[in-house]
Amino acid sequence: MNGGPSGFNNAPVTRAVIIFSALFTVFFGLQGRSNKIGLSYLDIFQKPQLWKVIVSTFAFTSTPEMMFGLYLLYYFRVFERQIGSNKYSVFILFSLAVSFLLGSFTLALLRDPKALITSGPYGLIFASFVPFFFDIPVSTRFRVFGSRFSDKSFIYLAGLQLLLSSWKRSILPGICGIIAGSLYRMNIFYIRRAKLPDFIASLFSRLSWLSTSSPSSANGIRSVSSSAPSYAGRQVERNFSAPLVGPIEPSEESIAMLVSMGFNQDSARQALVQARNDVNVATNILLEAQAH
């Protein structure tokens, strides 16, 4: 279970988050300041420092935390592929903002100068566990020493390791992230309908320019659920332009990508045949079928 095909295909926003998280972690680690970037009551309410809030949102405090955190972020790229980069950007901003506010409210109640919230995108990571629990199906079950496990168990174990990595400092932002993910799923304030302006969404995609992929491939990716043309329109066009072209056998990679989004394999194959192996159009077909 790896969240679909390897790489950041159709996941430029995830790529940008991972790159900046890794860069900030390495940079402050080399300076020996990793343990100083966690947020405290003083940092938020008495001596607020915007740079520290931003850095603490992305930089992990240790290499093990970074390894588990980036692995989970990389796996959860499946959600960007499922709802599109624009709406996934909204999910990121909502998760980070709500978890930060909840954490700040908790620190305000404690009023303990020594109480710290560990740094890193914990809000985003643990908010992603909510759709992971409800929307990602189990594909494999097995037993180990008489105990039942599934392919999802490894993701839960990685999340548990990250949640307990700094004990109280990491448990608080983890819980805040789960609450943020639950509020998003409940569609509070109709947040799941929200979209960012196109220029902001494209900015998130361009922030991944440090990766090895070409900028054109990152900029050319569009939201699956909002900007992909409807299948009906394409079907009309094909009826006039290529009526004699036979069905195209879908690739295994395309089928695996749709299955990783939670769709049935047979349904994914049929949708890809109808969409002539266009993953975006096939996703629209499947989502419309679920809506009805």
Choosing among 1.20.1540.10, 1.10.10.1100, 1.10.10.10, 2.30.40.10, the CATH entry for 12-198 is 1.20.1540.10
- Domain 231-292, CATH: 1.10.8.10
Q: Which two tokens stand for residue 203?
A: 């900015």
The predicted pLDDT at position 246 comes to 54
Please state, in angstroms and rounded to a whole number, the distance separating the CA atoms of residues 122 and 124: 5
| CB-neighbour burial class of residue 219 (10 A; exposed 0-12, middle 13-18, buried 19+) | middle
Q: Which two tokens stand for residue 42?
A: 């003083």
Residue 290 has pLDDT above 80, yes or no: no
**Alpha carbon distance 18, 16 (integer Å):** 6
* Mean pLDDT value across the chain: 81
Which pLDDT score is estimated for 22?
95
Give the gyration radius of the chain's Cα atoms.
Answer: 21
If you average pLDDT over residues 232-249, what whole number do you get? 46
pLDDT above 60 for 242? no
Q: Residue 276 has what pLDDT?
A: 81
Q: Cα dist. 176→144, 180, 183, 254 in Å?
A: 32, 6, 11, 35
Domain ranges of the chain: 12-198, 231-292
Q: What pLDDT, in 10s, does the model give residues 181-208?
A: 999 999 999 999 999 887 776 676 666 5
Instruction: Identify which of 53-67, 211-225, 275-289 has the greatest average pLDDT.
Output: 53-67
* Four-CA torsion 207, 7, 75, 184, nearest 10 degrees: 40
Decide if pLDDT at 39 tops 60. Answer: yes
Token pair 């679920």: residue: 290
The answer to whether the CB of 281 falls within 8 A of the CB of 231 is: yes
Please report the pLDDT score of residue 255 as a whole number. 85
pLDDT of residue 194: 94
